[in-house]
Structure 1
Amino acid sequence: MKLALLCSVAFLAAASPVLAADFIEPVAAMPFSWTGFYGGVQAGGGWNDSRWSQTTNPTFNTNGSGGIFGGQIGYNYQINQFVIGVEGDFAGSTVKGDNQCSNVLGTTCEAKQDYLGSVRGRLGYAVDRFLIYGDAGVAFTKYKFAEVDSFPQSFGGGSRVGWTAGLGAEYAFTDHWTAGVEWNYYDFGSKAGESDVLPGFFVDNRDTENVVVGKINYKF
């Protein structure tokens, strides 16, 4: 009798971990959340279209390209699979273009961009760690316009305010680090600049730009 009782106790002790495992549900991994503040760096390229209009000469363009290098900060808030957010960015620019000044042979006109920035709202759709989004907002830049040979003169330029809209995709490869690519279209409208050599001689410049950058962010 005692032997039978001891055998029963030993069997129950050995079987208890197995029985417990059958009743304990495995703990599911927490899904990734895009909610939170983030900051990072960006690098890419810009392609601008600068259209010059003069009262005495035909319209011409100084289309150009160059590098875009800067950083961004922002905040995302996730609701189910939708992600809303706001982002501000600022970048230095080497975008520059030149062309013959209208139909005047032997002349070269040039448009240069110093910086590019924006504040944009974002709306995206997340599939776990993958996010696609669209954005739109206000944009800032600074251009310089000049005739650089034959008859050198500056047409000023200065700070400009416009709008931007674009698309992007981002992937979280850890709980804190994300990387992605983004395209944005910028429109800064038109601005008149007066020659610093010929008072009263104005040139209108209409400027648009396409920018593609890669981004790396740290999510806090």
Structure 2
Amino acid sequence: MVKLAFLAAGILGALLSQATAADMVELPVASAYNWTGFYIGAQAGGAWNNSRWSGATFPSFNTNGSGGVFGGQIGYNYQINQFVIGVEGDLAGSTVKGDNLCANSPGTVCETKQDYLGSIRGRVGYAIDRILVYGDGGVAFTNYKFAETQLFLQDFGGGSRVGWTAGLGVEYAFRDHWTAGIEWNYYDFGSKSGASNVLPNFSVDNRDTENTVVGKINYKF
């Protein structure tokens, strides 16, 4: 009877060992998501511009404005352990516009308009599987127009501007080839002088900074 009990216990132990081994084969550990690769995508969001006018013959004033930005981006990420480095270029059309009383002249309106906004930025992030938190920074491009639009009509030009940008973002890979995220960036385009197209020897200086918040979706190859 004792021998039979030991034999049954041995058989039961062997069966349990085989069952455990089988379970381990059938339940492999899932591998972490890898962010390495090229991607292309679209973006849309809002922008808030701070445009400060100054000159030798009038008090300084601002034509702060807001509007939408919409465009696309292309980039590349490379993952090293949990760190992700990359580069991204983007270009967006802009409807940002702001106006205000020109200095202290009653009845006048001065206006700042933005046509587009773009940048080339480096990115450094930290990946927690399918979540990527990152910071970015680089060179930025835009096109502004400055004008007095009421009472006395005159154009102060504007044109292409080059500045710098830096920001933060978070991205989530909701499919193996699809990611979505939200990103904030600050832009500084410095100051630029523009001469009146009507009054000789009359010019204004415009200093422009901007904040944007955009939602982004990417396809990763």
TM-score with structure 2 length normalisation?
Answer: 0.90
The equivalences for 1:2-21 within 5 A come to 18=19, 21=22
* 1:71 alignment partner AA: G
2:42 maps to amino acid = V
The unaligned stretches of length 5 or more in structure 2 are 1-14
Secondary structure, aligned partner of 1:151: coil
State yes or no: 1:135 paired with 2:136.
yes
Q: Which residue of 2 aligns with 1:208?
A: 209
Residue in structure 1 matched with residue 179 of structure 2 by the alignment: 178
In the TM superposition, what is the alpha-carbon distance from 1:57 to its structure 2 partner?
0.4
Say if 2:130 is the partner of 1:150.
Answer: no
The equivalences for 1:14-163 within 5 A come to 18=19, 21=22, 24=25, 26-163=27-164
Alpha-carbon separation, structure 1, partners of 2:21 and 2:137: 55
Q: 1:60 to 1:26 in 2, by over 3 A?
A: same
Tell me the equivalent position of 2:11. Answer: none
Query: What is the deviation of 1:54?
Result: 1.4
The normalised TM-score by structure 1 is: 0.90
Distance 1:178 1:61 in 2: 38
Q: Paired residues, what number? A: 207
**Separation of aligned partners in 2, 1:86 and 1:200:** 44
Partner of 1:4: none
> Residue 113 of structure 1: SS of its match in structure 2?
strand
Unaligned stretches of 5+ residues in structure 1: 1-14
% same residue: 76
> Quick one: which amino acid aligns to residue 45 of structure 2?
G
Question: Partner amino acid for 2:52?
Answer: R
Rounded Cα–Cα distance in structure 2 between residues aligned with 1:176 and 1:24: 28
Instruction: Go from structure 1 to structure 2 and tell me whether the alpha carbon gap of 1:179 and 1:60 turns closer, same or farther (over 3 Å shift).
Output: same
Segments of 4+ moved more than 3 angstroms: 17-20, 22-26
